[in-house]
């Protein structure tokens, strides 16, 4: 049983798919007019996890995400740069994909664009005009009439009479009601336009998402989501026009999922807040953040807070997430090492027959713990996609693995007594969690010994061998001051040396 918090009812509801065994999702995509900041990326990472989760549960997932590639801001950016709207949007769409790839966000099944769905959009507007839910002005502007719609405001819980229309922006006097919103905008000189029965122009914001979701997912689909700032007016208007068009109050999306904001000093991340942009210079856009830290670390951080809660984002938090990630990665390598040894035949399966003094596998407790944590993991995910909790179960398993691995390395566990299948199962559990959260799909940073062989020349390696061997001589002679001096100076040079029971290891910081 999966429970989801539905913005429409403001409660957690039990999820019942429209079609058995299938899930249809429409996630509001971006308007590609400039570089997205890290907050813009949150919903896509969240939906990516939700999608992975449903898929893992065996659902057939239909995932649609749009690009609003015809829009006022794009036109403005194009005019400023002296290029076409198409160039601006394509450039930013490419950048969007690059960032999403770095965050392990899998591609949607389809990415419809406004520019490629124009006929359907126009047909829908026409339908609304025909049904008297919209009216056409002399100059070709078309507006949706909110007063025709008795249930307008049901998602955001607003009444027309309560809103301060025009409080912050002057109301267009030609509208019948201040809250009426544009379905079609007449083209001004020099603006791109499409022909329509109403005149030359382009779609208003909102209508494109209605058209595209209905077109690709049908009249009734499961999920519609995006950031909380889309609740009003965007999603409210989508509901209004879609249900008016279909003449069915129960049509359109069944579950509305909205994520909280990413904040900086408790304030919503925003490109229009100039002071905030300045304050975060060089660490604000997704691209900038990804230039400095691995995508998987950022992804992990984004998922360590429940999706509906605000998430404070700053470099300190990223560093914390990086440490956390390092611990998860460590277990990944430990399991990797164990499974390699198993496959290499270094572990002999305990048959319980002669020659085996120990018949109880020490791995038994580990796999039991693993199964329990996996079950907890699924329970957390099933309760409104609680990735924050789910990740802690994965973390717990990583610690269990570390304990086991430590004993194994110290020779406290004899390989012959280990049931390889059990270790392999633990690894499977761990990777199953990782797959849903979306980790370890990029090269995982290696630990210690492995790190020595990465990116170092033979010369460096042999020099290090010489230095460490000299240091070992000093240690053997209990000449601690020389040994410590070598270690200190190497550290100053960017190399840390750690003494372990198996000898000294080193790595670049």
Given 291, 406, 441, 460, the residue binding RNA (CB under 7 A): 406
Which whole-number Å values give the CA distances from 195 to 138, 200, 230, in the listed order?
15, 5, 29
Given 15, 135, 205, 332, the residue binding RNA (CB under 7 A): 205
Which residue has 């407790």 as its token pair? 365
Buried (b) or exposed (e) across 226-261, using 16+ Cβ within 10 A? bbbebbebbbbbbbbbbbbbbeeeebbbbbbbbbbb
Residue 375 tokens read as 């079950």
- In total, the chain counts a number of residues equal to 509
Helix, strand, coil percentages (3-state) for the chain, rounded to 5, are 50, 15, 35
Tell me which residues in 269-288 interact with RNA (CB under 7 A): 269-270, 272
Given 310, 362, 365, 415, the residue binding RNA (CB under 7 A): 310
Q: How many whole angstroms separate alpha carbon 440 and alpha carbon 195? A: 49
> Is residue 39 a contact residue for RNA (CB under 7 A)?
yes
> Is residue 484 a contact residue for RNA (CB under 7 A)?
yes
> Is residue 155 a contact residue for RNA (CB under 7 A)?
no
Which residues lie below 8 Å from residue 342, measured CB to CB, with a gap of 6+? 420, 423, 424
> Is residue 392 a contact residue for RNA (CB under 7 A)?
yes
Q: Hey, is 3 helix, strand or coil?
A: strand
Buried (b) or exposed (e) across 377-403, using 16+ Cβ within 10 A? bbebbbbbbbbebbbbbbbbbbebbee
> Is residue 234 a contact residue for RNA (CB under 7 A)?
yes
For RNA, which stretch binds (CB under 7 A), given 126-134, 292-300, 380-388, 429-437? 380-388
Q: Are residues 264 and 233 in contact, defined by beta-carbon separation less than 8 angstroms?
A: no
> Is residue 13 a contact residue for RNA (CB under 7 A)?
no
> Is residue 492 a contact residue for RNA (CB under 7 A)?
no
Tell me which residues in 165-194 interact with RNA (CB under 7 A): 165, 167-169, 179, 181
Cβ nearer to RNA, comparing 349 with 372: 372
Given 110, 348, 389, 464, the residue binding RNA (CB under 7 A): 389
> Is residue 327 a contact residue for RNA (CB under 7 A)?
yes
> Is residue 306 a contact residue for RNA (CB under 7 A)?
yes
How many residues contact RNA, by CB under 7 A?
81
E strand or H helix at 316: helix 315-343
> Is residue 266 a contact residue for RNA (CB under 7 A)?
yes
Burial, 220: exposed, middle or buried (Cβ in 10 Å; 0-12, 13-18, 19+)? middle
For RNA, which stretch binds (CB under 7 A), given 77-85, 309-317, 415-423, 433-441? 309-317
Cβ nearer to RNA, comparing 331 with 350: 331
Half-sphere CA count of 182, side-chain side, radius 13 A: 19
Site string for RNA, 41-70 (x = CB under 7 A): -xx------------------------x--
Given 9, 151, 309, 351, the residue binding RNA (CB under 7 A): 309
Tell me which residues in 75-134 interact with RNA (CB under 7 A): none
* Biggest CA pair distance of the chain: 96
> Is residue 241 a contact residue for RNA (CB under 7 A)?
no
Cβ nearer to RNA, comparing 31 with 254: 31
For RNA, which stretch binds (CB under 7 A), given 14-22, 103-111, 333-341, 401-409? 401-409
Q: How many whole angstroms separate alpha carbon 471 and alpha carbon 482? A: 7
Residue 332 tokens read as 């990944």
Residue 42 tokens read as 């949150």
Which residue has 């580990």 as its token pair? 366
Q: How many CB atoms lie within 10 A of CB 29?
A: 23
Tell me: cis bond preceding 356? Omega within 30 of 0 counts.
no
Cβ nearer to RNA, comparing 356 with 395: 395
> Is residue 40 a contact residue for RNA (CB under 7 A)?
yes
Which residues lie below 8 Å from residue 151, measured CB to CB, with a gap of 6+? 240, 243, 249
> Is residue 159 a contact residue for RNA (CB under 7 A)?
yes
For RNA, which stretch binds (CB under 7 A), given 85-93, 134-142, 279-287, 320-328? 320-328
Given 127, 362, 402, 415, the residue binding RNA (CB under 7 A): 402
For RNA, which stretch binds (CB under 7 A), given 99-107, 263-271, 343-351, 456-464? 263-271
> Is residue 388 a contact residue for RNA (CB under 7 A)?
yes
Give the shortest CB-241-to-RNA separation in angstroms: 14
> Is residue 212 a contact residue for RNA (CB under 7 A)?
no
Given 28, 374, 422, 437, the residue binding RNA (CB under 7 A): 28
């Amino acid at each position: 049983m999966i429970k989801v918090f539905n913005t429409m009812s403001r409660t957690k509801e039990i999820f019942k798919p429209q079609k058995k065994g299938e899930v249809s999702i429409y996630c509001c995509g971006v308007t590609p007019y400039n570089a997205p900041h890290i907050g813009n990326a949150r919903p896509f990472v969240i939906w990516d996890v939700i999608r992975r989760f449903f898929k893992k549960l065996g659902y057939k997932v239909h995932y649609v995400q749009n690009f609003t590639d015809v829009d006022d801001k794009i036109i403005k950016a194009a005019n400023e740069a002296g290029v076409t709207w198409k160039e601006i949007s394509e450039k930013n769409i490419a950048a969007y994909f690059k960032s999403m790839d770095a965050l392990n966000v899998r591609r949607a099944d389809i990415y419809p664009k406004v520019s490629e769905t124009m006929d359907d959009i126009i047909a829908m507007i026409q339908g609304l005009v025909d049904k008297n839910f919209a009216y056409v002005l002399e100059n070709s502007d078309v507006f949706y009439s909110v007063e025709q719609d008795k249930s307008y405001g049901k998602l955001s819980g607003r009444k027309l009479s309560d809103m301060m229309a025009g409080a912050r922006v002057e109301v267009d006097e030609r509208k019948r009601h201040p809250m009426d919103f544009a379905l079609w905008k007449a083209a001004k000189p020099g603006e791109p336009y499409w022909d329509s029965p109403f005149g030359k122009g382009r779609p208003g914001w909102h209508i494109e998402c209605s058209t595209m979701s209905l077109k690709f997912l049908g009249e009734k689909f499961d999920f519609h989501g995006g950031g909380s700032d889309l609740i009003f007016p965007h999603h409210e208007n989508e509901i209004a026009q879609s249900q008016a068009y279909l003449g069915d109050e129960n049509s359109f999306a069944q579950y509305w999922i909205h994520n909280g904001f990413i904040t900086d000093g408790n304030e919503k991340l925003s490109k229009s807040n100039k002071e905030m942009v300045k304050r975060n210079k060089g660490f604000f856009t997704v691209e900038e953040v990804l230039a400095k830290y691995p995508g998987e670390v950022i992804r992990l951080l984004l998922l360590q807070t429940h999706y509906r809660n605000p998430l404070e984002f700053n470099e300190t938090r990223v560093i914390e997430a990086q440490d956390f990630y390092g611990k998860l990665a460590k277990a990944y390598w430990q399991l990797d090492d164990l499974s390699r040894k198993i496959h290499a035949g270094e572990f002999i399966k305990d048959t319980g027959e002669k020659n085996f003094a120990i018949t109880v596998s020490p791995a038994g407790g580990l796999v039991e713990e693993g199964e329990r944590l996996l079950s907890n993991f699924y329970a957390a995910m099933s309760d409104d996609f609680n990735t924050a909790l789910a990740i802690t179960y994965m973390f717990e398993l990583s610690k269990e693995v570390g304990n086991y691995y430590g004993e194994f390395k110290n020779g406290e566990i004899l390989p012959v007594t280990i049931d390889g299948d059990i270790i392999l199962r633990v690894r499977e559990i761990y990777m199953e969690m990782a797959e849903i959260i979306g980790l370890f799909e990029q090269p995982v940073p290696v630990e210690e010994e492995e790190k020595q062989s990465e990116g170092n020349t033979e010369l460096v390696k042999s020099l290090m061998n010489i230095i460490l061997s000299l240091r070992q001589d000093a240690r053997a002679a209990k000449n601690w001051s020389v040994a410590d001096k070598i270690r200190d100076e190497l550290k100053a040079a960017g190399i840390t040396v750690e003494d372990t029971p198996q000898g000294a290891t080193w790595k670049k910081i």
